[in-house]
Amino acid sequence: MNARNLVVVSAGLSTPSSTRLLADRLTEATVSALDAAGQDVHVENIELREHAHAVVDATLTGFPTGDLAVALDHLYAADALIAVTPVFTTTYSGLFKSFVDIIDKDSLRGLPVLLGATGGTSRHSLALDYSMRPLFTYLRADVLPTAVFAATDDWAGGGDEVNPLPRRIVRAGQELAARVAGRTPTAPVNPFAATPSFTDLLAGGGL
């Protein structure tokens, strides 16, 4: 069985980053659920902080290059996406939006996407629904019902009725795994697939 390709985009600006921490927890929950379903999975992490200058260059030129181009190729071959951003001024970060702006607009069509966000307080949690969800819906992605927001205080202690973060992470991972398990694996695109062979050209008098 071919491994499923899970791409994880995190837009944290610091090191270490609570945004990357949430992305890692969502990844672990998804991989665990896929393993339980007998599905092999390959994870590719895209840390936007490492591509910040290249993202700006691609915005200006329209042509991603270097490691950023490789990262986009991984995204275009993904069977699922986990996208996590910090919330600044009530919405996703500028770096996150700039990255989304350089993505091929048809590349996420039908792709299962799990959304996550981090912020100082839970008051910013609605950004997932009024900001991030419409963005990926516009790109015709298959946005999962459960999204996960983690405030600073949510990382303290274990999960309970006051802090449901761990349970929500598990539920989101299980939802994404179920969607991926029912999806036809993405086949790598061969740009030369439509090119006739040399033998066919000779046989048909094409040379």
Q: Give me the pLDDT at residue 200, please.
A: 55
Q: Is 171 exposed, middle or buried (0-12, 13-18, 19+ CB in 10 A)?
A: middle
Tell me which amino acid residue 112 is. Answer: P
Q: Give me the pLDDT at residue 194, please.
A: 47
> 85 - beta bridge partners?
117
Of 156, 177, 180, give the one whose Cα is nearest residue 166. 156
The segments of the chain whose pLDDT lies below 70 read 1, 157-162, 184-207
Q: Give me the pLDDT at residue 185, please.
A: 59
Burial 134-154, CB ≥16 within 10 A → b, else e: ebbeebebbbbeebbbbbeeb
pTM attached to this predicted model: 0.85
Structural domain of 184: 4-203
CATH number for the domain spanning 80: value is 3.40.50.360
Provide the domain count of the chain.
Answer: 1
Task: Enter the tokens of residue 126.
Answer: 């609605």
CA atoms of 87 and 96, how far apart (whole Å)? 10
pLDDT in tens, 41-82: 999 999 999 999 999 999 999 999 999 999 999 999 999 999
